[in-house]
Amino acid sequence: MSDSVDDRAGLSLAQFTQLDPGVARELPRHRHALSRDQVRTSQHSRLILATVQVVAEKGYAGASVRQIATRAGISTKTFYELYPDKEEAFLATYAAVDRLTELMRHAAAQARTAAGVIEAGLTAYLTALAAEPAFTQSLVVEVLASTDRIRARRAQGLADFAAAMIEGLRRVRAGHGPDPAPSPGAHALLIGALGA
């Protein structure tokens, strides 16, 4: 698993959730010493941040490619060089959820009891959501009013969260005898608790 929101952007979850203004700044329009890769990385990073911000403000349906490109400080032509449409740009931002799942898995792995696993995992999840309202609005709320592909991506993220929690619960139960497989209801309960 990468520490990046979007592997092409090289943007960490910490930078993403803080909407780091250093990452989001526009590049100089005149000649500069930046390589083509550095320019593309900056454009991707700014586009990801802008997508999250604009979708949080306008809603998925109300957000336009032009608004996202303008917020990112890039042209619509550059937007379409990076992503074919708004849906793909939004899906790229959703990769931050993969990093959040890893943070939850790591937190749960430190726990020594079943209650500790649940507390650590949910604390990591809720702390990340509370730390960045735009991220939460876009990737937890607005996703519900988006496309089938994006909602499927959300469902996969929730299933991954639940699997990370169940993995932690299995680990702590391993020291207490045989580990019966969790019921399908346990998986559904965790998904529901995480935001279904």
Indicate which CATH number applies to the domain containing 74: 1.10.10.60
- Say how far residue 35 (Cα) sits from the centre of its chain: 27
In a domain, 2, yes or no: no
pLDDT at 125 over 50: yes
Please give the pLDDT value at position 147: 96
Query: Do both 126 and 148 map to the same domain?
Result: yes
In a domain, 66, yes or no: yes
Report residue 189 as tokens: 């309960």
In a domain, 185, yes or no: yes
Buried b or exposed e, range 4-18, using 16+ CB within 10 angstroms: bbbebbbbbbebbbe
Q: Which domain holds residue 52?
A: 13-86
3-state class (DSSP) for residue 173:
helix
Please give the pLDDT value at position 191: 65
Please give the pLDDT value at position 174: 80
In a domain, 57, yes or no: yes
The whole-number average pLDDT for the span 155-175 is 86
Please give the pLDDT value at position 30: 60
pLDDT tens digits for 19-77?
444 444 555 566 666 677 777 888 888 899 899 999 999 999 999 999 999 999 999 99
3-state class (DSSP) for residue 12:
strand
Query: Do both 139 and 178 map to the same domain?
Result: yes
- Of all residues in the chain, the percent with pLDDT exceeding 90 is 30
Q: Confidence class of residue 3 from pLDDT cuts 50, 70 and 90?
A: very low
- Give the global pTM: 0.74
Number of domains the chain contains: 2
Q: Rounded to whole angstroms, how far apart are CA atoms 36 and 21? A: 21
In a domain, 91, yes or no: no
Query: Do both 100 and 181 map to the same domain?
Result: yes
Query: Do both 21 and 58 map to the same domain?
Result: yes
Burial status of residue 130 (CB atoms within 10 A of its CB: 0-12, 13-18, 19 or more): exposed
In a domain, 50, yes or no: yes
